[in-house]
Amino acid sequence: MRDLFDKIYKDKGPLGKWAEQAEGYFVFPKLEGPISNRMKFRGKEVITWSINDYLGLANHPEVRKADAEAAAKYGSAYPMGARMMSGHTDLHEQLQNELAAFVNKEAAYLLNFGYQGMVSTIDALVSKDDVIVYDVDAHACIIDGVRLHLGQRFTYKHNDMESIEKNLDRATKVAEKTGGGILLISEGVFGMRGEQGRLKEIIELKKKYNFRFFVDDAHGFGTLGKTGAGAGEEQGVQDGIDVYFATFAKSMASTGAFIAADQEIINYLKYNLRSQMFAKSLQMVLVEGALKRLDMLRTMPELKNKLWENVNALQGGLKARGFDIGTTQSCVTPVYLQGSIPEAMALVKDLRENFGIFCSIVVYPVIPKGLILLRMIPTATHTMEDINETLNAFDAIRERLQNGTYKRLSAAVSAAMGE
């Protein structure tokens, strides 16, 4: 018999194996100073393109004031206990009602975290006779929720209608045998590449197939749609989404999340959502903070307008300079370049050290081998100066990538990695 930890000593996992080369720089970097368009990385100012503070609320003076006042009033503990037992308050209810109204649903229910809440909601919505159909590029919280499912599940090719139909056909056959139903799950916006889920076309399929539709709109909430109600509003199909989910971790610049649906569905989830039944309630400081933020989403359209001004300037500028930004239909701005992982590391280092640009980097196995994805998140706090500086820096790094500078700089790492 082996010691349980043997595998841990031998295999650190697909990312963990790079810890020595990457930690503190490419992974677990420390961004310091107030959350904004410019922060400090290793003591130097950088333009930050990797923070999901879409509307610039994280450090907005009104938000900071509301958070401080709520903390002074309630501390960080109140209320103690799970919602069902001793953690329920008028303000939790008020926030739920306001969130439901904002996303045009009858009712809403708060979750402590998006990730954990999504896992738990999937778990609560299906039983072993049901079938789940979901996008192969779904966020980890969807994948992990599906992992809890005891019945059948099918993935479809990313945003591919033909594959969706094929898998709905398969799911229908299974469900007819088991006597269960079908849950189809998509994201409103896919966070890596920025495409919107094909919500409208999926909802059209309800005419042909019997399924319920669950949408994770983490990146759409607050950024898309006329009022900011998200991808469903943007595509004019919010009514066709049976269960809507969004986190407070992005546009709301906080912690927490919610689901919204018909009253009867929320009533059921209230009594069956294990993440809320067996965990402490969302703290009041976060509830009051979320009420303030939601009020700002409702009453300050200028925040979303400024965000989109910046998105359009950044994405338009990149396209005009011939960069491949894929098929984004949201604020998420990917830039695809050709290169190896060692080249990508040299390039990112150059961007940070010499150009003062901080953005996330995504490489194989998340995207195909030989591609480098620089993922940028514009926010309402960025300025035209930030954007122009960044565009100029991107011109320079592309030139260096193409003329082999990064290949030379990374030769030693490449050799060590056997690339």
Ligand X SMILES: Cc1ncc(COP(=O)(O)O)c(C=O)c1O
342 counts as binding ligand X under rule CB under 6 A: no
* Amino acid letter, residue 271: Y
192 counts as binding ligand X under rule CB under 6 A: no
Tell me the per-residue interface mask from 202 to 221 with ligand X, x by CB under 6 A, - otherwise. Answer: --------------x-x---
139 counts as binding ligand X under rule CB under 6 A: yes
118 counts as binding ligand X under rule CB under 6 A: yes
Q: Which of 223, 235, 238, 247 binds ligand X (CB under 6 A)?
A: 247
Nearest approach, Cβ of residue 162 and ligand X (Å): 24
CA within 13 Å, CB half, 111 = 27
**C-beta of residue 225 within 8 angstroms of C-beta of residue 234:** yes
Whole-angstrom distance, CA of residue 298 vs CA of residue 405: 48
Nearest approach, Cβ of residue 141 and ligand X (Å): 5
Which one of 53-61, 109-117, 355-363, 409-417 is the stretch in contact with ligand X (CB under 6 A)?
109-117
258 counts as binding ligand X under rule CB under 6 A: no
Smaller CB separation from ligand X, 250 or 400: 250
Nearest approach, Cβ of residue 257 and ligand X (Å): 5
Whole-angstrom distance, CA of residue 306 vs CA of residue 411: 42
CA within 13 Å, CB half, 7 = 5
371-376 vs 333-338, strand pairing mode: antiparallel
Smaller CB separation from ligand X, 63 or 409: 63
Q: How many residues bind ligand X (CB under 6 A)?
A: 13
Q: Which of 39, 47, 125, 141 binds ligand X (CB under 6 A)?
A: 141
Long-range contacts of 74-78 (CB under 8 A, 24+ apart): 74/283, 74/284, 74/285, 74/288, 75/285, 76/283, 76/285, 77/283, 78/283, 78/284
115 counts as binding ligand X under rule CB under 6 A: yes
**C-beta of residue 12 within 8 angstroms of C-beta of residue 4:** no
249 counts as binding ligand X under rule CB under 6 A: yes
* Size (the chain), residues: 419
Which one of 62-70, 111-119, 321-329, 408-416 is the stretch in contact with ligand X (CB under 6 A)?
111-119
Whole-angstrom distance, CA of residue 309 vs CA of residue 96: 31
Whole-angstrom distance, CA of residue 107 vs CA of residue 260: 6
187 counts as binding ligand X under rule CB under 6 A: yes
Smaller CB separation from ligand X, 327 or 354: 327
Residues 43-102 that bind ligand X (CB under 6 A): none
Q: What is the DSSP string of 274-325?
A: HHHHSSPPPPHHHHHHHHHHHHHHHH-HHHHHHHHHHHHHHHHHHHHTT-B-
323 counts as binding ligand X under rule CB under 6 A: no
Smaller CB separation from ligand X, 122 or 347: 122
Nearest approach, Cβ of residue 280 and ligand X (Å): 16
CA within 13 Å, CB half, 122 = 28
Q: Which of 79, 87, 114, 334 binds ligand X (CB under 6 A)?
A: 114
Q: Which residues bind ligand X (CB under 6 A)?
A: 113-115, 118, 139, 141, 187, 191, 216, 218, 247, 249, 257
